Structure 1
């Protein structure tokens, strides 16, 4: 249990603000000049729409259980998704912090549209507006 508390404490700024950091990896397709066919790799059959379904949760507010207040905007999300995808959110929601009690997180240092893309990345592993927001997404 101390691990999570120290994780949260290491991300707290002045005035008990929470600093979120994300690791973003850009993957480029590598093309080789070999004409030999590659051996067939076993593949896992996964519903091609899984990421889309998780992304739909961002607009399906019925079962959301946490609100992010950013300026005048209120963005709803799901603690279960956030905690399994982010150790920072897991530490925040597993402890007796104000955010856990009120199910509200106030964020002041990011624009709402950028935070929506952060959530989209957490939910789906992709970002739709990468070229427009790349600088804002890098922390």
Structure 2
């Protein structure tokens, strides 16, 4: 048996175990795979029915901080028309050992099949005995809000304290501070250092952003953006980061967009990754579509993508399709 028979392929929240063949009365356990901060295992046992188990690897981390998992698990037949059988969504299940989640799949499976786990959330207990918190939540916002200096900086924006520049978005205006904008963006700094319209009229026109997105953009620059607002405006923030050369915002958006790729957003993210030259996001989207077989689940959307997307990007996707077919 080759090592590949036990290997589980993963993205940040998705795990797939491809099983070539499982004879009757057979037990198989996967190699460990990492999701979040835990190592995990899948195991299958075939008797009268197929038993699938998901559990974390036993360690000090598991004993002291066992994961509280929300996930969807599926078994997908990889022959014929790729029939999929899904367990009802698991919500906030405490997992400590290999008996905490057992799924009896009573539908007979023959030949190749795939076990797929999509982690919707992973929580861990706080060392201070507080409520469990999600490890997927982006902690950069809370850390900034805890700093008194940044709280004061945020008040300058929210209370309009001595603003000296007006930003005109597509549907509204908001006051800001030249010094803060210049410190955060070399493009803004250049505007204020030369005799440009922005310096003379004390205004910046940003017609390609709504006032709501512009407010989120300024909140990020001032260190007071809330996590849910960041998630809501990620693509607009990515555009602003590229336009105004704000590398930390670009990197933050990039990492966040990698974190929750799914069938509803993968094609949009693939095109944005190509547009903004985000190689890691682009390859993650392509692998999600090709390596994990999601291209079959969104055929109509993918056909629309083929009609409208950049030709070079389509060629990259089909190159990965050919490579995958050769290796399977």
User: So what's the TM-score if we normalise by structure 2?
Assistant: 0.28
Q: Which has the larger radius of gyration?
A: 2
Q: How many residues align?
A: 98
Per the TM alignment, residue 57 of structure 1 is displaced from its structure 2 partner at its CA by 1.1
Counterpart among 178, 200, 211 of residue 112 in structure 1: 211
Distance 2:196 2:232 in 1: 34
Counterpart among 122, 134, 138 of residue 234 in structure 2: 134
Counterpart among 169, 175, 182 of residue 76 in structure 1: 175
Find the counterpart in structure 1 of residue 48 from structure 2. none
Distance 1:110 1:76 in 2: 15
Q: Name the structure where strand makes up a greater proportion of residues.
A: 2
Unaligned runs of 5+ in 2: 1-35, 39-58, 62-145, 240-328
Aligned-partner SS, 2:174: strand
Deviations 1:68-115 (A, max 9, x none): 111341110000111112111101111000110010112110111111
1:87 aligns with 2:186: yes
Find the counterpart in structure 2 of residue 64 from structure 1. 163
Closer, same or farther in 2 for the Cα pair 1:134/1:101, shift >3 Å? same
4+ residue stretches of structure 1 with deviation over 6 A? 32-35
- Contact preservation (8 Å) 2:171, 2:211: no
Unaligned runs of 5+ in 1: 1-29, 36-46
Aligned alpha-carbon RMSD (Å): 2.2
User: So what's the TM-score if we normalise by structure 1?
Assistant: 0.61
Closer, same or farther in 2 for the Cα pair 1:66/1:109, shift >3 Å? same
Find the counterpart in structure 1 of residue 222 from structure 2. 123
